[in-house]
A and B are shown apart, each in its own frame.
Chain A
Amino acid sequence: QKEVEQNSGPLSVPEGAIASLNCTYSDRGSQSFFWYRQYSGKSPELIMFIYSNGDKEDGRFTAQLNKASQYVSLLIRDSQPSDSATYLCAVDSSGSARQLTFGSGTQLTVLP
């Protein structure tokens, strides 16, 4: 069974700090990796995606991918209270029927 695992948290960081969110996946054939942010009662919002090993930066967000270790992470620099949300890691499963498999999410709280 293809699995995506995240630390469920909750993770609390002070305002201005770096928040680090981690995700591991079991399907070695996975090619695409996504981070979604979900505020309470709202739908998931795509904030980052990464396909290649290494780092990808977009504003305060950096996604890191290590396919050999089957590990993907999201760093949020200069965390703001508005970053408080649940962060979902999603992995594109390989095979003929492509679909996203979601991790259980990490709840992040940024303390003012």
Chain B
Amino acid sequence: DTEVTQTPKHLVMGMTNKKSLKCEQHMGHRAMYWYKQKAKKPPELMFVYSYEKLSINESVPSRFSPECPNSSLLNLHLHALQPEDSALYLCASSQAEPGQTALEAFFGQGTRLTVV
């Protein structure tokens, strides 16, 4: 089972709202990722969690706040977003940890976020 589940599939939020995106995997993967993808662009890495610890933050604004409650779950908390933050937000997971080979990453279906 190579399934990564993201909820919700679609989200419309105002600039003063607080919302959360959720991601879940049951493949035993110990690395989980958040990516942001704008139309006709490749995914851009936002955060990496390895063994439930934040290992990479690609200079993401603080209005995006990641959380990894356990090895199967990854959240992205959103607050005071701007219209330019509208994008497809992708969660991914992989088995490998830093320092080891193989980094096959499997993506969830994404959350289409619109900020109004």
Binding site for B on A (CB under 8 A): 31-32, 34, 36, 42-46, 49, 51, 88, 90, 92, 96-100, 102-105
Contacts and interface: CB of A to CB of B under 8 A. Distances in A.
Interface in B16-33: 33
A103 B43 CA distance: 9
B7 interface: no
Contact of A43 (B33, B48, B99, B109): B109
Given A44-B43, A97-B98, 18 more contacts: A32-B101, A32-B102, A43-B88, A43-B108, A43-B110, A44-B107, A46-B104, A46-B106, A51-B102, A96-B98, A97-B56, A98-B98, A99-B33, A99-B48, A100-B45, A100-B105, A102-B42, A103-B42
B55 A104 contact: no
Interface of B: 33, 41-43, 45, 48, 55-56, 88, 90, 96-99, 101-110
Nearest to B58: A99
